[in-house]
Structure formats: structure tokens, C-alpha cells
Structure 1
Amino acid sequence: MRAVGFDVNGGPEVLRPVELPVPEPGPGQVLIRVAYAGVNHGEMCHRLGDFGAPAGIEVPGLEVSGEVTALGPGVTGLACGDPVAAYLPDGGGYAQYAVAPAAFAYPLDGISLRDGGGAALALTTAYGVLAGAARLAAGDTVLIHAAAGGVGSAAAQIARALGAAAVHGTVGSAAKADYAKRFGYDAVHLRDGFAEHVSDLDVVLDPIGGPTRQAGLSVLAPFGRLVVYGDAARRPDLSLPVLPLRRNNRSLAGYDLADLARRAPTVVRSHALSALSLLASGAIRLDITTELPLTAAAQAHETLQAGLNVGKTLLTVD
């Protein structure tokens, strides 16, 4: 089968077309003929070596859509030919065929394969960060960093659907601010100096890190929650004293989909199905801004690493 992989860590140029055997599904797994593969920050981190050096050729790709073509032992509730969106905790999505745990293969009832290609990770993360880690309640005020990204643009809409009273966003450039405003934000601020414009927030969602994360704590209301779910700035980790959290009635929470998939797969599935239900009903939309052929995966990574992406990027596979 055709795939894109890498055998050394490095820049986008290490991604190259490869030919690999079609994988076989093991117990509790399904084989998917991939139609679309989403492009995500986690795949960039994989390529850069955050998960260690590759052991031979490794194929990135954490979310796909396509049709089930084979079932591993013990799989029920799915059949060959079913269209699904799938989260791939072990990667492998940049390929014609990918193996996914059946628990993370979600039926696409009323959702196109195109939308499904960017849903299994991005929408699950957006919903899980808000409903799980942030414990969002009706009437809460929310600030979402990286407001123009695939997760950020979805999170703004999901926050509204879950009853948020006000939703603010931050972006890295004025051009991204114009884009982000399409998704129901009350206001979108430039990330530098955002703390001058907001205060007393119930929830801050931070996939950035560094000084942005430190500033996020300062704008929380009593019992406000800062939720960390990424480190796009690739800055050193913060060293935070605990006593100021207590003295200012602030909370710090974390969200990591890979860890949740290992330890609470039913929670991941619940979050994914809830988000897909909102997508199917039209309550939210997934804004796919870029479609590239599988062979252009390096180009997609260049844009992502330069911070120039908005919305969701898909690779068309089959």
C-alpha cells in the first residue's frame, strides 16, 4: 500500500512516500481503507522526535475516515463497508489502510467522509477539554487560545452548545483573528497582551504554553480553571508554586487524549460520539480549509510548523 512515513527525526522534509504491506487487524481492531487523514500537531511532534527516535519506517497520522474492510477477532457492532471516523492512538493514518481500535472507530451517521476525516481527534479533543477537564457549566465565560486552529474553531462552537455565556479567543496574527471570528467568538484578541483585555474568566483553554500559560492563570475568576492540552510554543515547562493557586481560588487541569485512551477508553468514546452528534445535527461545523494529496504531507507539515494554518487540513488518500 501507499503511505507517507519517516525513518529519521527532523523537519518536514523527512516525510517521504513509502510502500508498505497492508496491516492486519488484531483482536479488538478494525482495518480501514482510508479516504481522508487529518493533519495535527501531534504528528508534527512525532516527526520532530518528541516520542523518541523511529524504529524503522514510522507512519504518522492520528485520525482518519474511511470504510471498514476487515474485522479483528472479537469485534462487534461494526461491519465491513461501514463508513467510520477513527482515532489512531498509535498513528498510521498517512496510508491507504490503517488499523484502529474498534472502540475508537465511530459510525458516520449523516456525516460525510470528508468531515469525518478531521473529526476523530480534533472534535474529541475539543469536547473532552471542555466537558471533561474544564467541567464547563452553563453560564461560564471561556477563553480559547489558538482560536483559529482546528480544535480552537470547534471548541468555540462546542462551548456555545454546552451553554457558555461568553467565548473569547486569542490568535497570533490579525489575519487569523478575522478568520476566527466566523465561529461565534464574542471577541478575538492578539495573543501578546491578551490579559489586558479579559478578566474573571471561568475557563481558559491553553494548547500554547510558556508565558501565555502563566498569563492565563492571572485572568481566572474565583474557582476558574486553566486547562492545559498542548505545548505548541515548544517552550520549557513552567515551574508553578502551588500556594498561589489556593490563595487565589484557581485550578489547573490537564487533558491528554493518548493517556485517556489508554486508561479510560469508554470516556474517549463518549466524548467522541457526543461531538459527532453535534456535528451531525448542524449545531457545530468542521471548517476544512485545506485538502492536499497524501504525497504532499510534508507541505502540510511545513505550514503547520510555521504557524500559518487555520481551520482543518486534510490529506486525501483514496
Structure 2
Amino acid sequence: MRAVAFKEVGGPEVLRLVELAEPEPGPGEVLVRVAYAGVNYGEVQHRLGDFGAPDGETVTGLEVSGTVVALGAGVTAPAVGAEVAAYLPDRGGYAEYVSAPASFVFPLGDLGLDLRTAGAAPLVLTTAYGVLAGAGRIAAGDTVLVHAAAGGVGSAAAQLARSLGAAAVYGTVSTGEKAEYARRFGYDEVFLRDGFADAVREATAGRGVDLVLDPVGGATRLESFEALAPFGRVVVYGEAGGHPDLSLPVLPVWKNNRVLAGYNIGDLSRRDPEALRRHTLAALGRVASGAVRIDITAEYDLADAAEAQRLLEAGRNIGKAVLRVRG
């Protein structure tokens, strides 16, 4: 089968189109013939070595859509021939075939999703929902601030926050072009990231927001605490800015009634897979109902995966990109 793999960590140039043996589904797994694979920052981190050194030809890719072609031992559903979306905790999606845990494979028949849209859904939608409802404990009437508002998770998070009862949703971005794009998804206001805390306090009459979603890190993370209302929560779910880890003093947390939380989909897949499945089903249900729209802004051939990652790593992306693996 064709796959995009890497044997050493480095820049996008280490990704190469190769021929590999087709995988076989193990116990509890489903073999999927891939139609589309989502492009995500976690795959950039994989290629950079953040999750360890590669072991031979290593295939990344955390979410796909496609058709079930075989079932492993102990698996009875979905049926062979069913069109599905799948989250891949062990990666492997940049390939023509991939084995996925049956718990994280979701039939598309009742959802009204086409394969192209579904290929962009399992990771970003689940992350956005999990950050809001799981780690963030969003409640009706909350106000929300989303960093990286023009990205795949950010554009979904604004819509999901509304569907979960948020009273107001604000976003931050790095450029005016991204601000214009993000406004399509229902943000009340979108701010440039520099000096955003002052802008948030002004927009909320000095109160601040109840919930901040932060995949950026660094100075943005520190400033986020200054934008919180009493009992406000900062939820960390990424390090897209590539900044060193922070050392946070505890005294300002309790003295200012602040909360820090985290969301990591990989950890959840290992320690509470049922919670992860619930998050995905709830998020997909909102797409099926029309409450949430996934905006795919770029489509690449599988062989062009390096270019897709180059733009994402450079922060030049808006919306969501997918790889077309099978037409």
C-alpha cells in the first residue's frame, strides 16, 4: 500500500511516499481502507519527535474516513463495507489502509456526513467538545475565549460552545486575515492576540470570561489568567507556539479564584476510552443536526502531505486541511 512515512525526526522534508505492507486488524480492531486523512498539529509534533524517535518507517495520522474492509477477532460491528470515521490513537492515517480500535470507529450512515467531511472530524471535533464539556465543564450562560480561533479546533469550538449554551464566545488570532475568517463561525468578537486580555476585559465590562481554551502556550497562556472571571478556567490542550513549559506560581491561582485544567486526547484514549467515545458521538451528533459545520479549506494529494504540514507548522493555515488518499 502507499503511505507517507518518516524514518528520522526533522522538518517536513523527512516525510516520504513509500510502499508498505497492508496491515492486518488485531483483536478488537477494524481495518479501514482510507478515503481521507485529516491534517493536525499533533502529526507535526510526531514528525518533530515530541512523542519519541521513529521505529523504522513510521506513519503518522490521527484521524481518517473510509470503508471497513475487515474485522479483527471479537469485533462484530461496524459491518464490512460500512463507511466510517475513525480516531487513531496509535496513528497510521497517512496510508491507504489502517487498523483502528473498534471503540473509536464511527459509522457514517446515520450522521449524514460524506467521507471528505468525516475525514476531518474525529480528532478536531472530539478535542473541541472534550475541552469545552470535559476539562472546561462549560455551563449554560458561560462566556468563552478561544485562542487560535481560525484553526480546525477553533472554528469547531465556537460553534460547539454555542450549542452547549455559551452566552458569548470570543476568539484570538495572529493576523487580520484569520480574524475575518474566524468571524464566520459565530464569534461575538475576534481579537488580535497581542494585548488580548485588555480587549476581553473591555468586551465583558471588566468581568472577564469563564473559560479560556489555549493550544498556544507561552505568553498567551500567562496572559489568559488575566482575562478570567472569578472561578474562570484556563484549559490547556496543546503547545502550537513551541514555547518552553511554564513555571506557574500557585498563590495567584487561589488569591484570584482561578482554575487551570488540561485536555489530552491520547491520555483519555488509554485511560478512559468510553469517555472519549461519548465525546466523539456527542460532537458528531451536533454536526449531524446542523449545529456545527466543519470547514475544509484545503485538500492535498497523499503525496503532498509534507506541504500540508509545512503550512500548518508555519501557522499559515486557516480552517481544516485533509489529505485525499482515495478518490
- Whole-angstrom CA distance in 1 between matches of 2:42 and 2:36: 17
- Whole-angstrom CA distance in 1 between matches of 2:133 and 2:115: 25
Residue 204 of structure 2 is matched in structure 1 by none
Deviation, 1:196, is: 1.3
Residue 254 of structure 1 is matched in structure 2 by 262
- Whole-angstrom CA distance in 2 between matches of 1:226 and 1:89: 25
- SS in structure 1 at match of 2:52: coil
Poorly superposed stretches of 4+, deviation over 4 Å = none
Q: How many residues align?
A: 318
Deviations 1:3-22 (A, max 9, x none): 00000110001101000000
Residue 154 of structure 2 is matched in structure 1 by 152
Residue 181 of structure 2 is matched in structure 1 by 179
- Whole-angstrom CA distance in 2 between matches of 1:216 and 1:248: 13
Residue 198 of structure 1 is matched in structure 2 by 200
Residue 88 of structure 1 is matched in structure 2 by 88
Residue 303 of structure 1 is matched in structure 2 by 311
1:5 paired to 2:13: no
**160-169 or 196-205: which moved more?**
196-205
Deviation, 1:163, is: 0.5
- Whole-angstrom CA distance in 1 between matches of 2:243 and 2:146: 19
Residue 268 of structure 1 is matched in structure 2 by 276
- Whole-angstrom CA distance in 2 between matches of 1:288 and 1:115: 7
- Whole-angstrom CA distance in 1 between matches of 2:131 and 2:115: 24
Output the TM-score relative to the length of structure 1.
Answer: 0.99
- Whole-angstrom CA distance in 2 between matches of 1:81 and 1:272: 22
- Whole-angstrom CA distance in 2 between matches of 1:291 and 1:97: 19
- What's the RMSD between the two structures over aligned residues? 0.6
- SS in structure 1 at match of 2:139: coil
- SS in structure 2 at match of 1:197: helix
Identity %: 66
Unmatched 5+ residue regions in structure 1? none
Residue 101 of structure 1 is matched in structure 2 by 101
The one-letter code matched in structure 2 to 1:193 is G
Unmatched 5+ residue regions in structure 2? 202-207
Deviation, 1:76, is: 2.6
Residue 16 of structure 1 is matched in structure 2 by 16
Deviation, 1:177, is: 0.4
Asked whether the 8 Å contact 2:144–2:166 carries over to 1, the reply is yes
- Whole-angstrom CA distance in 2 between matches of 1:79 and 1:300: 32
- Whole-angstrom CA distance in 1 between matches of 2:77 and 2:25: 16
Q: How does 1:162-241 map to 2 (within 5 A)?
A: 162-199=164-201, 200-241=208-249
Asked whether the 8 Å contact 2:198–2:227 carries over to 1, the reply is no
Deviation, 1:79, is: 0.8
Deviations 1:17-51 (A, max 9, x none): 00000000001100000000000000000001111
Deviations 1:249-285 (A, max 9, x none): 1100000000000000000000000010000111110
The one-letter code matched in structure 2 to 1:170 is T
The one-letter code matched in structure 2 to 1:118 is A
- Whole-angstrom CA distance in 2 between matches of 1:29 and 1:192: 46
Asked whether the 8 Å contact 2:299–2:323 carries over to 1, the reply is yes
The one-letter code matched in structure 1 to 2:74 is G
- SS in structure 2 at match of 1:31: strand
Asked whether the 8 Å contact 2:217–2:242 carries over to 1, the reply is yes
- Whole-angstrom CA distance in 2 between matches of 1:306 and 1:150: 15
The one-letter code matched in structure 1 to 2:12 is P
- Whole-angstrom CA distance in 2 between matches of 1:230 and 1:118: 18
Deviation, 1:77, is: 2.8
Output the TM-score relative to the length of structure 2.
Answer: 0.96
Residue 137 of structure 1 is matched in structure 2 by 139
Residue 50 of structure 1 is matched in structure 2 by 50
Deviation, 1:78, is: 1.1
- SS in structure 1 at match of 2:316: coil
